[in-house]
């Protein structure tokens, strides 16, 4: 009887212990499950986020810089020539030759450069006719002065080849001159003067022309045929002498047309006074 009494309490204690263990296990599982659910609810599953392909950066378009257009330099001002004219004893200024041509009274005009500048193509041609290349542009005033005249010298006549060239240049500037017919006739007559003066210049350059002086034949000049320069000779004395100074031939000319003399090879001296001679052969 004593053994049963001992077993009963032991069995009950064992049962209690088993129950406690079960309760602990069940409680542990419950807590673990709840925690797992909570973890499941609060921690989302890591899903693979779609990888973003970076968009290519647009290549900036370079705008070509416009090529600068070469700007034209400002046009240079033209030379301005005015005319100072004496009209009925009174000096007046005119801007154009046409204004002078319209005057009822006769006038004498001189050109004056008011403003320096470039010449027109026609003005350049006129300057070359009169002065040749390398001219002074401001000499244009002389041609406009000639162009303004309507009678007398530079219209009805000229006295030299140089004046004929001035008239030719002026007529290039003003072909509409009211006395155009007279000017053309004067230019035509001046051509012979121009040719004569050019021949003289060439002769001087070639040492074939001599003015007043005393010359030795064979040293200063050569024997041959010598011609007076110019269509008209006035107050001219010439003399050919031998080696002793004796006069072989001489003459004084008060007035005469152009003439020639022969200087012989055996002559020694040639004297000229008041005129000029050019060797022609």
Task: Give domain limits for the chain.
Answer: 80-204, 209-279
Query: pLDDT > 90: what percent of the chain?
Result: 52
Contacts of 233 (CB under 8 A, 6+ apart): 253, 255, 256, 257, 258, 259, 275
Beta carbons of 179 and 206 less than 8 angstroms apart: no
Model confidence, pTM: 0.54
**C-beta of residue 142 within 8 angstroms of C-beta of residue 84:** no
**Pairwise CA distance, residues 109 & 153, whole Å:** 12
Residues 200-229 have pLDDT tens digits of: 888 777 778 899 999 999 889 899 999 999
Give the per-residue pLDDT at 2: 46
pLDDT, tens digit (0-9, with 9 covering 90-100), for 233-269: 999 999 999 988 999 999 999 999 999 999 998 899 9
pLDDT given for residue 196 in this prediction: 86
Instruction: Say if residues 158 and 169 touch (Cβ distance below 8 Å).
Output: no
The yes-or-no verdict on residue 30 having pLDDT over 70 is: no
- The arithmetic mean of pLDDT across residues 178-194, rounded, is 94
How confident is the prediction for the chain on average, in pLDDT? 83
Question: What's the pLDDT at 202?
Answer: 81
Does 130 score more than 90 pLDDT?
yes
Instruction: Give every CB contact of residue 213 below 8 A, 6+ residues apart in sequence.
Output: 271, 272
Which pLDDT belongs to residue 38? 46
Instruction: Give the model confidence (pLDDT) of 139-175 as tens digits.
Output: 999 999 999 998 888 899 999 999 999 999 999 999 9
Residue 129 contacts residue 167 (beta carbons within 8 Å): no
Check the CA dihedral 25-31-37-42 and report its sign: negative
């Amino acid at each position: 009887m004593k053994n049963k009494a001992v077993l009963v309490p032991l069995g009950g204690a064992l049962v209690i212990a088993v129950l406690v263990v079960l309760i602990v296990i069940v409680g542990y599982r419950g807590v673990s499950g709840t925690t797992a659910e909570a973890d499941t609810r609060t921690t989302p599953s890591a899903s693979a986020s779609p990888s973003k392909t970076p968009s290519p950066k647009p290549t900036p378009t370079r705008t070509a810089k416009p090529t600068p257009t070469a700007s034209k330099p400002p046009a240079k001002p033209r030379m301005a020539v005015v005319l100072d004219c004496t009209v009925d004893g009174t000096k007046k200024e005119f801007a154009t030759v046409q204004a002078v041509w319209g005057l009822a009274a006769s006038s004498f005009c001189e050109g004056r450069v008011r403003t320096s500048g470039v010449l027109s193509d026609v003005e350049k041609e006129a300057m070359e006719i009169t002065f040749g290349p390398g001219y002074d542009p401001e000499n244009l005033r002389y041609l406009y002065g000639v162009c303004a005249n309507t009678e007398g010298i530079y219209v009805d006549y000229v006295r030299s080849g140089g004046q004929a060239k001035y008239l030719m240049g002026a007529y290039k500037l003003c072909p509409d001159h009211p006395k155009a017919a007279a000017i053309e006739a004067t230019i035509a007559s001046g051509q012979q003067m121009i040719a004569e003066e050019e021949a003289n210049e060439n002769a001087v350059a070639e040492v074939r022309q001599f003015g007043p002086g005393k010359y030795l034949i064979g040293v200063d000049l050569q024997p041959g045929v010598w011609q007076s320069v110019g269509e008209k000779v006035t107050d001219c004395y010439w003399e050919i002498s031998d080696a002793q100074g004796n006069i072989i031939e001489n003459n004084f000319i008060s007035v005469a047309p152009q003439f020639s003399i022969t200087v012989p090879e055996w002559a020694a001296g040639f004297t000229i006074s008041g005129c000029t001679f050019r060797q022609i052969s």
